[in-house]
Amino acid sequence: MSYSAKIGPSILSSDLACLGSECVRMMECGADYLHLDVMDGHFVPNITFGHPMVECLRNCVGPDPFFDMHMMVSRPEQWVKPMAAAGANQYTFHLETTTNAGNLIKEIRESGMKVGLAIKPGTTVEELAPWAGQIDMALVMTVEPGFGGQKFMEDMMPKVSWLRSQFPSLDIEVDGGVGPSTIHKCAEAGANMIVSGSAVVSSDDPRSVITMLRTAVSEAMQKRSLDR
């Protein structure tokens, strides 16, 4: 087993006027990486921030924190180089936004970033499968992308289970409505990279929530390896 349990807070639910200190706070509370949600108002009905903000965040947090860029944008090709230059580590684009995923994967790698491939709830996992051998991470959305604080869609779990069975060492991320009450479903299905926004950021004790989420994933991984 080559993957491990990692928790990536989504800072979308934090006070956006304090993004730098919120990123630092999440890392101090034990986050394994930071999940940064970029929205363009076209692919999703909301706008957040772009590469200038990412560059400022990188300067603020230093070189170490891993930035997983969740690109909810209509033209992901446009932002590969600017995001790499701004200090992004992984570029996660949506399969729905491109007709040439292969080329985009190549461009992301050539820019020195890892590759994540995301699917919305309405996109089947079979559509992602042909690319699974070429990517570092598959993101199964568990809400319609666009907003934090939505209800977890449990009916996405078969996608995660199927991916885990087909690609045993792939990083599989879930995003949307994931917190202490829904983590067990994700962990049992086989997700190992856990995005959690409001459940972590709005908690009085983010450190405990992050630890709890990671423990749930690690225990499910151990159980799977014993069952094999």
Residues of each annotated binding site for a divalent metal cation: 35, 37, 70, 175
Q: Which residues contact 178 (CB under 8 A, 6 or more apart)?
A: 142, 152, 186, 194, 195, 196, 199, 213
Give the residue numbers of the binding site for substrate: 10, 70, 146-149, 177, 197-198
Rounded to the nearest whole angstrom, what is the least distance from the CB of residue 149 to Zn ion in the complex? 12
- Does 40 qualify as catalytic in the annotation? no
Tokens of 7: 């928790």
Sequence-distant contacts of 95-100: CB under 8 A, at least 24 apart: 95/119, 95/123, 95/127, 95/128, 95/131, 96/43, 96/120, 96/123, 97/43, 97/73
Site for Zn ion in 112-171 (CB under 5 A): none
Toward ligand DX5, which CB reaches closer, 51 or 70? 70
Residue 38 forms beta bridges with which residues? 71
Residue 152 and residue 65: Cα distance in Å, rounded? 27
Site for Zn ion in 53-72 (CB under 5 A): 70
Which one of the listed residues 37, 40, 68, 171 is annotated catalytic? 37
Per-position x/- string for 156-185, each x denoting binding to ligand DX5 as judged by CB under 6 A, each - no binding: -------------------xxxx-------
Burial 119-129 (b: 16+ CB within 10 A, else e): bbeebebeebe
Alpha-carbon torsion angle 124, 130, 136, 142, nearest 10: 0
Q: Does 188 bind Zn ion (CB under 5 A)?
A: no
According to DSSP, residue 15 is labeled: -
Toward ligand DX5, which CB reaches closer, 66 or 109? 66
Residue 12 binding partner per list ligand DX5, Zn ion, none, with a CB distance cut-off of 5 to 8 Å that depends on partner kind: ligand DX5
Site for ligand DX5 in 90-149 (CB under 6 A): 143, 145-149
Toward Zn ion, which CB reaches closer, 50 or 219? 50
Q: Which of 88, 147, 98, 148 is nearest to 118 (CA)?
A: 98
- Does 204 qualify as catalytic in the annotation? no
Toward Zn ion, which CB reaches closer, 130 or 149? 149
Residue 196 forms beta bridges with which residues? 9
Out of 5, 108, 198, 220, which residue is the one contacting ligand DX5 (CB under 6 A)? 198
Contact positions vs ligand DX5 (CB under 6 A): 10, 12-13, 35, 37, 70, 143, 145-150, 175-178, 195-199
Active site residues: 37, 175
